[in-house]
Amino acid sequence: MAVPISQAWTVATYVLRQKRKGRKRFPLVTMLEPLFRCNLACAGCGKIQYPAHILKQELTPEECFRAVEEAGTPMVAIPGGEPLLHPQIDKIVEGLVARKKYVYMCTNALLLKEKLHLFKPSKYFSFSVHVDGQRDHHDFSVCREGGYDIAVDAVKAAVAAGFRVTTNTTLFDGADPNSVRAFFDEMMAIGVESMMVAPGYTYEKAPDQKHFLGRARSRRLFRAILSNRKKTWRFNASPMYMEFLMGKREFSCTPWGMPAYSVFGWQKPCYLLQDGYADTFQELMETTDWANYGKESGNPKCANCMVHSGYEASGVYYTFGSMRGLLDTAIATIFDQYEDRGALDLLNQPTKPVHSFNPLVQITTHIETQAAVEEGTTA
């Protein structure tokens, strides 16, 4: 299975309990951002463009625990920034695991091998390693030569040490579907438990504004990638979300499905947009005008979004919303190869990956700049 049976059962019973209580809006995963500081500066990322005094701020373990308990979700994702830069990240993970939360700690893996000893293998804990494709594509995407090799080496070390390891992959315009499919083979071969893949979000602050995907291009790309699947591939996403990416289903966004908490508080309305902050989770839910978000709202910021944080919950809620949803999900789980001759034709069409005609530009991070200044000062 893509996830342990105990995790699938915990999530299923949680959703059904919320349904029985009559809750129209409830979260599925808490997106916990203990810091924004990072040791990469990816061209498509809009999460780390803050002044130095913000990048130095961190949530304490107690603040993290309080936020997670407030939201009450069975799962917690820890993105960033780079969580391994947090001096107490091991305490944060340990405390969440002790609360029997299923934790996915995102990491670019640059520091993973040297900090692996800080963590203990558990069914409740997984390293979610950011790998954006095969070597050339990943290194270009993260603006760091050698990044892929470091990540793969760290994945192998974590798997050998008994940890659950998943990957998360963000795709942009110009992605080669054949290369992505070959990348899936590579990840399965090194022992990755499951993979999550999604199109990138059009961050206004991202350095590269040219290569975000629109909806039509996203569906074309994911139809080519996710149809005619190999039996060895395992994905860390609901079958309904995967069908949504392929253009087989239409869902409305669920912005409250994965609420984000950071040094600013609860982010309105979702992990991707920053339209204000709330001090408490209840305030977030009660004061956000949810009708202003999602594709149907006409909000231009939502027009092309098909990101996991907005639509994975939609797929899960559809599954448990009716007998039809359960049946559709069961069928998608059993018959998961999606044979599609048209998708095969798409794979045969020529592509020109962005990294094939653009040079890799390593963007200096705030951390690297600060280190260079300090080195020059002490020299």
Q: Domain containing 356 — which CATH number?
A: 3.20.20
In a domain, 23, yes or no: no
pLDDT confidence bin for 373, thresholds 50/70/90 = very low
In a domain, 16, yes or no: no
Q: What pLDDT does residue 214 have?
A: 81
Mean pLDDT for the chain overall:
90
pTM for this model (two decimals): 0.89
User: Average pLDDT in the 351-369 region?
Assistant: 53
pLDDT confidence bin for 377, thresholds 50/70/90 = very low
pLDDT confidence bin for 41, thresholds 50/70/90 = confident
**pLDDT tens column, 250-269:** 999 999 999 999 999 999 99
Bridge-based pairing of strands 260-262 and 265-269 is: antiparallel
User: Average pLDDT in the 303-312 region?
Assistant: 93
Q: What pLDDT does residue 132 have?
A: 93
Asked if residue 48 has pLDDT above 90, the reply is no
Q: What pLDDT does residue 206 have?
A: 46
User: Average pLDDT in the 142-167 region?
Assistant: 96
In a domain, 174, yes or no: yes
In a domain, 128, yes or no: yes
Percent of the chain with pLDDT over 70: 89
Q: Which of 95-109, 120-134, 149-163, 170-184 has the lowest mean pLDDT?
A: 170-184
Burial class (CB in 10 A: 0-12, 13-18, 19+), 244: buried
Q: What pLDDT does residue 50 have?
A: 85
pLDDT confidence bin for 352, thresholds 50/70/90 = low
Helical packing angle, 5-20 and 308-319, nearest 10° = 70
Q: Is pLDDT larger for residue 372 or for residue 173?
A: 173
Burial class (CB in 10 A: 0-12, 13-18, 19+), 53: exposed
In a domain, 1, yes or no: no
Q: What pLDDT does residue 375 have?
A: 45
In a domain, 176, yes or no: yes
Asked if residue 353 has pLDDT above 70, the reply is no
Within 10 angstroms of residue 80's Cβ, the number of other Cβ atoms is: 27
**pLDDT tens column, 273-284:** 999 999 999 999
Q: Is pLDDT larger for residue 331 or for residue 200?
A: 331
Those residues whose C-beta lies under 8 Å from the C-beta of residue 343, and which sit 6 or more positions away, are 223, 224, 227, 228
pLDDT confidence bin for 142, thresholds 50/70/90 = confident
pLDDT confidence bin for 372, thresholds 50/70/90 = very low
In a domain, 12, yes or no: no
318/219 Cα distance (integer angstroms)? 20
In a domain, 3, yes or no: no
User: Average pLDDT in the 173-187 region?
Assistant: 94
Number of structural domains (the chain) is 1
Q: Which of 60-64, 202-206, 224-228, 297-301 has the lowest mean pLDDT?
A: 202-206
Residue 294: domain span: 28-378
Percent of the chain with pLDDT over 90: 77
**pLDDT tens column, 83-106:** 999 999 999 999 999 999 999 999
Residues 174 and 219 sit within 8 Å (Cβ to Cβ):
no
Tokens 């978000």 belong to 293
Those residues whose C-beta lies under 8 Å from the C-beta of residue 21, and which sit 6 or more positions away, are none
Residue 363 DSSP class: P
Asked if residue 249 has pLDDT above 80, the reply is yes
pLDDT confidence bin for 376, thresholds 50/70/90 = very low
Burial class (CB in 10 A: 0-12, 13-18, 19+), 324: exposed
pLDDT confidence bin for 172, thresholds 50/70/90 = confident
